[in-house]
Homo-oligomer: A and B are copies of this chain.
Amino acid sequence: MNYTAQIKVMPLKDLLDPQGKAVLGGLHNLGMKPIADVRIGKHIDLQINAESKEEALQIATEAATKLLANQVMEIFEVAIL
């Protein structure tokens, strides 16, 4: 069966996010002062052929651990639809 896995990869809370800070500056320049902070990460959709939802989750987690996220600097969350 075909499953869709959604993986969210975000910079760790304690680390500076220069891309987010730059976008925050851009938004303030556009006059959007109510926005207090911006953090930017990746959103990855995987199509996975698996026997069960559990197997799909295991494959997606392996993909995130081995390639998609750098766990020194990033945290990831996996959800199977």
Contact = CB atoms under 8 A, between A and B. Distances in A.
A50 B38 CA distance: 15
Interface string A39-78: 1111111111110000000010011001110000000000
Contact of A48 (B34, B47, B66, B67): B34
A39 B66 CA distance: 17
A39 B44 contact: yes
A45 B34 contact: no
B39 A45 contact: yes
Given A35-B46, A42-B43, A63 B27 contact: yes
Interface of A: 2, 8-10, 20, 23, 26-27, 30, 32, 34-50, 59, 62-63, 66-68
